[in-house]
Structure 1
């Protein structure tokens, strides 16, 4: 299982539109092969900062999702609402207590 954390900073005038478009993108990912979960996070100290935490079975599943029309259709819209570049980091899941049995 793999987790990718992507951080972005939004333009003030586009924050609501970005949140709405990203919510739709995540909803569309739910049915894709390898998708496990996602969280959309908003900065507490920096309200225009967002983080997307995506959990996928493999990086290949995540990559395939990026070629899907539902993903590509929002790419330009989201990019126009962001300031600067996005920062993404991959992590291999060592332990996931949400799915462990006690």
Structure 2
């Protein structure tokens, strides 16, 4: 699941999550990134520990790429979260269906 979690983050590449570039650029500091991460972690809760770990690894890769560029990733994280939530809902449905 760890690789799957990073893949879901990578899916947002069309929003340039990994490069930190967005159409609507909003400057923030690293505190903004930390707040976005905390919100995602809080939403994940106990639903999937491995998914949370995958996010932590993805976050490290994103932070390494950004280095000095601290443009907002909150929008990118929100998009990634929506995709993960949808993925978790599908898993729940498949589980209930016995697939």
Could you say which TM-score interval applies, normalised by the shorter chain?
0.3 to 0.5
Q: TM-score, normalised by structure 1?
A: 0.35
Q: TM-score, normalised by structure 2?
A: 0.36
